[in-house]
Structure 1
Amino acid sequence: MYLFVISFDGLSTLDFDYISSLKNFNSIISNSSYCKKVYSVYPTLTYPAHTTIVTGKYPKNHGIVNNTQFQPNRQSPDWYWHRKHIKCETFYDLAIKDGKKVAALLWPVTAKSKIQYNVPEIFANRRWQNQIMVSILNGSVNYQYKLNRLFGHLRKGIKQPYLDNFTHQSLLYTIKNIRPDITLVHYTDLDSMRHYNGFDSVQAKDALNRHDKRLGEIISTLKECGIYEESTLILLGDHSSLDESKIINMNVYLEEKGFIDVDETGRIISYEAISKNCDGSTYIYVKNNNDEELINKLKIALKNFNEKYECLDAIYTKNEASEFGADSQCAFMLEAKKDYYFLDNLTGEIIEEINLEDVGQVPHLTKATHGYSPFKDDYTTVFIAHGKGIKKGEVIDEMRLIDEGPTIARLLGYELKNVDGKVITELLI
């Protein structure tokens, strides 16, 4: 069996009817088993979600609790790029131990993993770094060298759809020339278009059309190689997105209330409590989680904040956040209302309207985002399974992202230990 796990970042339940009308998605969906209502994890971000997909665990248990690490005073914090940050086994670890050949193309949190054919998702985050060298040093040297030589001209940095064009051609080459037992591929075209143009934008629909063309080329390549009948395709999303137009600068409020001290340059000198954003939600961390006086003072400040600005759907305690599967080390977790999202700015207004002309020009300004609670209305994603080992015509009413890892592991003949999800046996032969 050849397994292909194809992640279309940002693919939503709301996209299901449209992709079902497209030629290549329809050819898969009509002969697949699927769930079009999959609840993601909290926060609904790419790195926590993709780590859940391969582990079957909530962020608090696999360790990837955000896209980026908690690094106050860094304008561009490091992301959780490296496999070492994952605290448990993945199904691809089990496969590698079993002698299987694995490839990964821009799959999150795989840098310096044991994956034999690996193009990790990582970028140069220091002035002295070079993107090509950073990628090569954190993945498979010879494999990446060959892909860059063949297809590097397709890229324009991380701009889409060019990055996905590079990823896609690299995938087709890998199928033809390497034929891994397991291939993980992460396309971000759709997510990027939604961030900068809005959820229902023409650009987002164009990205779905490009994904359909890519899927068709994957199917054709598998058939040309004579392995289509021996292949299993898992098509999935990691989260949905919501349009927004207002920024919550929570750290500006915390600084105003004396929880953060900054110098004349705006650099943090010290803090008692600080916000670390997850876009649609934010963690509030404190210096000392055992300081009950500080926690109570902060609780009152957060309550007063929401009474004044009315921009939060919820203020979750540490225990409540942990019950949702989020970081159990936070003191609080704040859930933004629709139309709002968080940034970590220390200057500016507490609530800021986005100037649409600045979107795509100013870092972190977007028209749509994610990171919200997975239980917001119309905010689920999808899971489609097709091919060898998969039943046809089974429709699962609801799933959770934590169920995907155990189900894929079972399909491969393995068992992930101590997972938070369950095997969806209805899908499997």
Structure 2
Amino acid sequence: MTRLTDHLLVLSFDCLSSLDLPMLETLPHFQELLDKAAICRQVETIYPSVTYPCHTSIVTGNFPNRHGVVTNTLLQPNRPSPDWYWHRRHIKGTTLYDEAKQAGLSTAALLWPVTAKAKIDYHMPEIFANRPWHHQIAVSFMNGSKRYQLEMNRKFGHQRKGIAQPELDDFVTASTVHTIQTKKPNLMLVHLVDLDTQRHHHGFSSEEAHAAIQRHDRRLGEILSALKESGIYEQTTIVALGDHSSLDHSRAVKLNVLLKESGLIQLNGRGMVKDWQAYCKSNDGSAYIYVKDEQAKDRVRALLHSLVVNEDNGIEFVLEGPEAGLRGADEQAAFMVEARRGFYFTEHVDGEPIDVIIAEDVAAGKYTHASHGYSPGKEEYSTVFMATGKGIRQNVEIEHMRLVDEGPTFARLLGLDLGKTDGKVVEGILKSK
């Protein structure tokens, strides 16, 4: 298959929403990107719309139930901090970076989710120390390119403060600039999280979120300058995209409290889960309910249908596992529930079934002010896609596309094939060779 570009740079601005476009159009470096870009203002995300499944869908072209990364974190009810789907081994089938590597193209990935231990040439994985005896830098080194990460930390490590934002994205941007200048990879995947962090902590339209978008504009400018200075700007396709949007909420729904009260969750003396017959696995704006037997399933079904009739309980709809599968989510869950606007789900087993969120709880890390994970069908909940450069038609607007269409489109640009995917190539933005 013919390659349409020499270099593909994908910049994922986590939590970038369609509603952000008016602001982006006023910022100098996003203006430069948009000036001749192919754009889709309404990109349909996946279900559940959380970061790890989203980024896996981007590089596979498949929905979560097919690629296997069905949520952010593993089902580990007994752990206070469950592990995430950090590793490449969790993905079923091939990925864009696998196919690029096999075709002899050079690859780079900086904090791209679900890539730990992947075969990527210049690789800084998104993974964090999740045990008291782990050290962040050591964990990163063991799961990515050791020499490359050592060089990036030696040069730019002074800019970061662990995994805190906005310092982490500044470190990633400096590493991206250096990698462009010195490595010139054919495929580069970069994940920036500042905006998502600020929206969780402060709310969708907060001053902190707007400041993060302005910082992203500066970061984009540094990356565009690096492409020009390195002499590969004209040979590069530049893509800026979001993975999901976000919604504000004021109430936390704790279904595990009700499952505990129903005798379906048992706690130990420290208030932690000792055993369970049914468990609510949160995706923030949605949640899976897993059960261990049919009796528990019948009891949970009755409970959920008694809750959904009252809007104050915060549940918009209930799906059976097969119905969730039809939407691309995990059909292995007994049920999937969607939160109403203003609500989100947590996995807490203590307190009341519904909590009013106060600033002190957010500051303490118990709750957040805004979240994602909701159904793609929610109003004003789409994300965006912008592409410019080699292989891309200028000033084209696509009315609608899906997150799963991005991977096949990227593969076509690089002359690769992801095989049979849920998504399809967005032909309308591509130049013919």
Coarse TM-score class (shorter-chain normalised): over 0.9
Once the two structures are superposed, the pairs formed by residues 241-256 of structure 1 within 5 Å of their partners are 241-256=246-261
Aligned to 1:351: 354
Sort the Cα spacing of 1:301 and 1:375 in 2 relative to 1 into closer, same or farther, 3 A.
Answer: same
SS state at 2:410 partner = helix
Counterparts of 1:13-412 in structure 2, within 5 Å, are 13-288=18-293, 291=294, 293-308=295-310, 309-363=312-366, 365-412=367-414
Distance 1:335 1:219 in 2: 40
Partners of 1:305 and 1:263 in 2: CA distance: 27
SS at match of 1:24: helix
In structure 2, C-alpha distance between the alignment counterparts of 1:50 and 1:224, rounded to whole Å: 29
- Cα-Cα RMSD: 1.1
What are the superposed Cα offsets for residues 402-429 of structure 1, whole Å, 9 maximum, x if unpaired? 1011111011111111200111100111
Write out per-residue CA displacement over residues 29-52 of structure 1, whole angstroms, 9 at most, x where no aligned residue: 121101010011111100000000
Shift of 1:307: 3.3
Amino acid at match of 1:26: Q
Partners of 2:27 and 2:369 in 1: CA distance? 26
Gaps of 5+ in 1: none
Residues in 1 aligned to 2:296 and 2:183: alpha-carbon distance in whole angstroms: 57
Aligned to 2:3: none
Paired letter, 1:342: F
TM-fit CA distance, 1:12: 0.1
For residues 235-288 of structure 1, the C-alpha deviation after alignment (integer angstroms, 9 at most, x for no partner) is 100000000111111100111112222233323332221101001111000113
CA distance in 2, matches of 1:406, 1:167: 26
SS of 2:214's equivalent? helix
SS at match of 1:307: coil
SS at match of 1:245: strand
Which residue identity is paired with 1:89? T
Q: Secondary structure at the match of 2:259?
A: helix
CA distance in 2, matches of 1:32, 1:305: 47
**For each residue in 1:148-191, what CA deviation from the matched residue of structure 2 results, as whole angstroms up to 9, or x when unmatched?**
01111111121111000000000001011111111100000111
Kept after mapping to 1: 8 A contact 2:253/2:313:
no
1:140 CA displacement: 0.2
* Rounded Cα–Cα distance in structure 2 between residues aligned with 1:307 and 1:313: 9
Residue 426 of structure 1 corresponds to which residue in structure 2? 428
**Matched residue type, 1:306:** V
Q: Distance in 1 between matches of 2:420 and 2:133?
A: 42
Residue 308 of structure 2 aligns to a residue in which SS?
A: helix
Structure 1 letter corresponding to 2:69: I
The separation in 2 between residues aligned to 1:88 and 1:187, in whole angstroms, is 25
Stretches of structure 2 that go unaligned for 5 or more consecutive residues are 1-5
Q: What is the DSSP-based 3-state SS (H/G/I as helix, E as strand, rest coil) of the residue aligned with 2:345?
A: strand
* 2:92 maps to amino acid: K
Q: C-alpha separation between the residues in 1 aligned to 2:165 and 2:269?
A: 38
Q: Compute the TM-score of the two structures, normalised by the length of structure 2.
A: 0.96
SS of corresponding position for 2:330:
coil
Which piece of structure 1 moves more, 296-305 or 239-248?
Answer: 296-305
TM-score w.r.t. the length of structure 1 is: 0.97
Percent identity of paired positions between Structure 1 and Structure 2? 50
Q: Mean Cα displacement is larger for which, 218-227 or 52-61?
A: 218-227
1:108 & 1:2 partners in 2: Cα distance? 21
Distance 1:389 1:306 in 2: 49
Cα distance, 1:336 vs structure 2: 0.5
SS of alignment partner, residue 359 of structure 1? helix
Question: Which residue identity lines up with residue 333 of structure 1 in the other structure?
Answer: M
Cα shift at 1:370: 0.5
Whether the 8 Å CA contact 2:78–2:274 is kept in 1: the answer is no
